[in-house]
Protein backbone atom coordinates (compact mmCIF):
# COMPACT_ATOMS: atom_id res chain seq x y z
CA UNK A 1 0.00 0.00 0.00
CA UNK A 2 1.40 3.38 -0.98
CA UNK A 3 1.97 6.22 1.48
CA UNK A 4 -0.55 8.34 -0.39
CA UNK A 5 -3.28 5.74 0.01
CA UNK A 6 -2.45 5.27 3.68
CA UNK A 7 -2.82 8.98 4.31
CA UNK A 8 -6.11 9.14 2.39
CA UNK A 9 -7.54 6.25 4.40
CA UNK A 10 -6.32 7.81 7.64
CA UNK A 11 -8.00 11.10 6.72
CA UNK A 12 -11.33 9.32 6.09
CA UNK A 13 -11.17 7.23 9.26
CA UNK A 14 -12.64 9.76 11.75
CA UNK A 15 -15.76 10.21 9.62
CA UNK A 16 -16.18 6.45 9.27
CA UNK A 17 -15.75 5.96 13.02
CA UNK A 18 -18.34 8.66 13.68
CA UNK A 19 -20.78 6.97 11.30
CA UNK A 20 -20.23 3.64 13.05
CA UNK A 21 -21.25 5.19 16.37
CA UNK A 22 -24.59 6.53 15.12
CA UNK A 23 -26.57 3.25 15.29
CA UNK A 24 -25.87 3.26 19.04
CA UNK A 25 -27.15 6.83 19.48
CA UNK A 26 -23.92 8.85 19.50
CA UNK A 27 -23.94 11.75 17.08
CA UNK A 28 -21.41 14.12 18.69
CA UNK A 29 -18.18 12.18 19.04
CA UNK A 30 -14.73 13.72 19.39
CA UNK A 31 -12.16 11.74 17.41
CA UNK A 32 -8.42 12.36 17.26
CA UNK A 33 -6.18 10.38 14.99
CA UNK A 34 -2.46 9.99 14.44
CA UNK A 35 -0.52 8.29 11.65
CA UNK A 36 3.14 7.58 12.39
CA UNK A 37 5.80 5.99 10.20
CA UNK A 38 7.73 3.60 12.42
CA UNK A 39 10.05 2.13 9.78
CA UNK A 40 10.35 2.68 6.03
CA UNK A 41 7.79 -0.12 5.52
CA UNK A 42 5.73 0.06 8.71
CA UNK A 43 3.10 2.59 9.75
CA UNK A 44 0.97 2.87 12.86
CA UNK A 45 -2.46 4.48 12.95
CA UNK A 46 -4.09 5.25 16.30
CA UNK A 47 -7.40 6.90 17.19
CA UNK A 48 -8.71 8.33 20.43
CA UNK A 49 -12.51 8.25 20.44
CA UNK A 50 -14.74 10.09 22.87
CA UNK A 51 -18.27 9.03 22.01
CA UNK A 52 -19.77 12.19 23.51
CA UNK A 53 -23.33 12.32 24.87
CA UNK A 54 -25.90 9.88 23.56
CA UNK A 55 -28.88 11.44 21.81
CA UNK A 56 -31.93 11.13 24.11
CA UNK A 57 -35.50 10.14 23.27
CA UNK A 58 -37.90 12.98 24.06
CA UNK A 59 -41.03 11.47 22.56
CA UNK A 60 -42.19 7.93 21.82
CA UNK A 61 -45.69 7.65 20.41
CA UNK A 62 -46.68 4.03 19.87
CA UNK A 63 -50.12 2.90 18.78
CA UNK A 64 -51.25 -0.66 18.26
CA UNK A 65 -54.61 -2.01 17.07
CA UNK A 66 -57.14 -2.82 19.80
CA UNK A 67 -57.38 -6.58 19.27
CA UNK A 68 -53.61 -6.94 19.27
CA UNK A 69 -53.29 -4.61 22.25
CA UNK A 70 -55.62 -6.85 24.26
CA UNK A 71 -53.55 -9.93 23.43
CA UNK A 72 -51.54 -10.90 26.58
CA UNK A 73 -48.55 -11.93 24.44
CA UNK A 74 -48.26 -8.40 23.06
CA UNK A 75 -48.92 -6.81 26.43
CA UNK A 76 -45.78 -8.57 27.67
CA UNK A 77 -43.73 -6.66 25.06
CA UNK A 78 -45.10 -3.24 26.01
CA UNK A 79 -43.93 -0.72 26.78
CA UNK A 80 -40.36 -1.31 25.58
CA UNK A 81 -38.18 0.10 28.40
CA UNK A 82 -35.25 0.96 26.12
CA UNK A 83 -37.47 3.25 24.01
CA UNK A 84 -38.91 5.28 26.86
CA UNK A 85 -38.30 9.06 26.87
CA UNK A 86 -35.07 9.96 28.60
CA UNK A 87 -33.16 6.92 27.35
CA UNK A 88 -30.43 7.12 24.73
CA UNK A 89 -31.86 6.22 21.35
CA UNK A 90 -30.47 3.11 19.69
CA UNK A 91 -31.32 2.24 16.09
CA UNK A 92 -30.44 -1.36 16.92
CA UNK A 93 -32.91 -1.60 19.82
CA UNK A 94 -35.57 0.18 17.76
CA UNK A 95 -35.23 -2.31 14.90
CA UNK A 96 -35.16 -5.18 17.38
CA UNK A 97 -38.47 -4.01 18.87
CA UNK A 98 -40.07 -3.75 15.42
CA UNK A 99 -38.82 -7.24 14.54
CA UNK A 100 -40.21 -8.66 17.79
CA UNK A 101 -43.64 -7.23 16.89
CA UNK A 102 -43.66 -8.73 13.39
CA UNK A 103 -42.37 -12.09 14.63
CA UNK A 104 -44.98 -12.31 17.37
CA UNK A 105 -47.72 -11.23 14.96
CA UNK A 106 -46.83 -14.12 12.64
CA UNK A 107 -46.69 -16.58 15.53
CA UNK A 108 -50.08 -15.44 16.87
CA UNK A 109 -51.96 -15.43 13.57
CA UNK A 110 -52.07 -11.72 12.71
CA UNK A 111 -51.10 -12.44 9.12
CA UNK A 112 -52.15 -9.06 7.69
CA UNK A 113 -50.37 -6.95 10.31
CA UNK A 114 -48.28 -4.03 9.05
CA UNK A 115 -46.67 -0.78 10.18
CA UNK A 116 -48.85 2.08 9.02
CA UNK A 117 -46.30 4.59 10.29
CA UNK A 118 -42.70 4.25 11.44
CA UNK A 119 -40.83 7.52 11.72
CA UNK A 120 -37.70 8.42 13.65
CA UNK A 121 -37.03 12.17 13.68
CA UNK A 122 -33.46 12.94 14.70
CA UNK A 123 -32.90 16.65 15.42
CA UNK A 124 -29.21 17.43 15.67
CA UNK A 125 -29.87 21.08 16.55
CA UNK A 126 -31.87 20.30 19.69
CA UNK A 127 -30.06 16.97 19.95
CA UNK A 128 -33.02 14.72 20.59
CA UNK A 129 -35.15 12.03 18.95
CA UNK A 130 -38.91 11.76 18.46
CA UNK A 131 -40.44 8.41 17.45
CA UNK A 132 -43.82 7.75 15.86
CA UNK A 133 -44.72 4.08 15.46
CA UNK A 134 -48.11 2.64 14.53
CA UNK A 135 -48.80 -1.07 14.07
CA UNK A 136 -52.09 -2.23 12.62
CA UNK A 137 -52.63 -5.87 13.43
CA UNK A 138 -55.80 -6.55 11.50
CA UNK A 139 -57.84 -9.50 12.73
CA UNK A 140 -56.34 -12.61 14.24
CA UNK A 141 -56.87 -15.75 12.21
CA UNK A 142 -58.36 -18.90 13.70
CA UNK A 143 -57.52 -22.52 13.12
CA UNK A 144 -59.44 -24.01 10.22
CA UNK A 145 -59.64 -27.60 9.08
CA UNK A 146 -56.67 -29.87 9.78
CA UNK A 147 -55.72 -32.18 6.91
CA UNK A 148 -53.79 -35.30 7.88
CA UNK A 149 -51.85 -36.65 4.90
CA UNK A 150 -50.89 -40.21 5.85
CA UNK A 151 -51.94 -43.79 5.23
CA UNK A 152 -50.74 -45.44 8.44
CA UNK A 153 -53.51 -44.98 10.99
CA UNK A 154 -57.19 -44.26 11.18
CA UNK A 155 -57.79 -40.52 10.72
CA UNK A 156 -60.23 -40.27 13.63
CA UNK A 157 -57.65 -41.89 15.89
CA UNK A 158 -55.01 -39.37 14.84
CA UNK A 159 -57.31 -36.44 15.46
CA UNK A 160 -56.98 -37.19 19.17
CA UNK A 161 -53.45 -35.77 18.97
CA UNK A 162 -54.62 -32.37 17.75
CA UNK A 163 -54.29 -30.00 20.76
CA UNK A 164 -56.69 -27.36 19.40
CA UNK A 165 -60.16 -27.13 17.92
CA UNK A 166 -61.30 -25.55 14.69
CA UNK A 167 -62.25 -21.94 15.30
CA UNK A 168 -59.81 -21.31 18.14
CA UNK A 169 -57.17 -18.55 17.68
CA UNK A 170 -54.12 -19.53 15.64
CA UNK A 171 -50.86 -20.14 17.49
CA UNK A 172 -47.55 -21.38 16.15
CA UNK A 173 -46.85 -23.00 19.52
CA UNK A 174 -49.97 -25.13 19.09
CA UNK A 175 -48.65 -26.36 15.74
CA UNK A 176 -45.33 -27.21 17.35
CA UNK A 177 -47.18 -29.12 20.08
CA UNK A 178 -49.08 -31.06 17.41
CA UNK A 179 -45.90 -31.95 15.56
CA UNK A 180 -44.20 -33.04 18.78
CA UNK A 181 -47.18 -35.15 19.80
CA UNK A 182 -47.28 -36.97 16.46
CA UNK A 183 -43.54 -37.48 16.51
CA UNK A 184 -43.60 -38.82 20.08
CA UNK A 185 -46.37 -41.26 19.16
CA UNK A 186 -43.69 -43.45 17.50
CA UNK A 187 -46.07 -44.18 14.61
CA UNK A 188 -44.10 -42.06 12.13
CA UNK A 189 -40.49 -41.65 11.16
CA UNK A 190 -40.93 -38.02 10.09
CA UNK A 191 -43.71 -35.51 10.76
CA UNK A 192 -44.20 -32.13 9.14
CA UNK A 193 -46.86 -29.70 10.28
CA UNK A 194 -47.34 -26.41 8.43
CA UNK A 195 -50.04 -23.77 7.99
CA UNK A 196 -51.62 -23.55 4.55
CA UNK A 197 -51.71 -20.30 2.58
CA UNK A 198 -53.91 -17.65 4.16
CA UNK A 199 -57.04 -16.96 2.13
CA UNK A 200 -57.87 -13.23 2.00
CA UNK A 201 -61.63 -13.85 2.14
CA UNK A 202 -61.43 -16.08 5.20
CA UNK A 203 -60.58 -15.66 8.87
CA UNK A 204 -59.26 -19.21 9.18
CA UNK A 205 -56.03 -20.92 8.28
Q: Determine which helix (DSSP H) or strand (DSSP E) holds 47, and give its type and residue range.
A: strand 42-50
* H runs (alpha helix) in the chain: 3-21, 66-69, 72-75, 91-108, 155-158, 172-184
* Stretch 20-28: mean pLDDT: 97
Cβ contacts of residue 91 below 8 Å, gap of 6+?
22, 23, 24, 25, 120
Sorting pLDDT into bands at 50, 70 and 90, what band is 151?
confident
Query: Which residues share a beta bridge with 121?
Result: 130
* Strand ranges (E), 51-147: 57-64, 114-123, 128-136
* Stretch 140-165: mean pLDDT: 90
Q: Report the range of poorest mean pLDDT among 7-16, 32-41, 84-93, 146-155.
A: 146-155
User: Over the stretch 44-94, which tens digit does the pLDDT of each residue have?
Assistant: 999 999 999 999 999 999 999 999 999 999 999 887 889 999 999 999 999
Amino acid sequence: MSEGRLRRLHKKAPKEIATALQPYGYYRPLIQGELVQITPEKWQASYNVDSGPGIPIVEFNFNISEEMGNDPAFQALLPPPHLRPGNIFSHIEYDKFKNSLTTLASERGYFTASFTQHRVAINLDTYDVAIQLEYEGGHRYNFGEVTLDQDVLDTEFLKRYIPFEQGTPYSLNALIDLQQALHDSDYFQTVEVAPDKVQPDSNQV
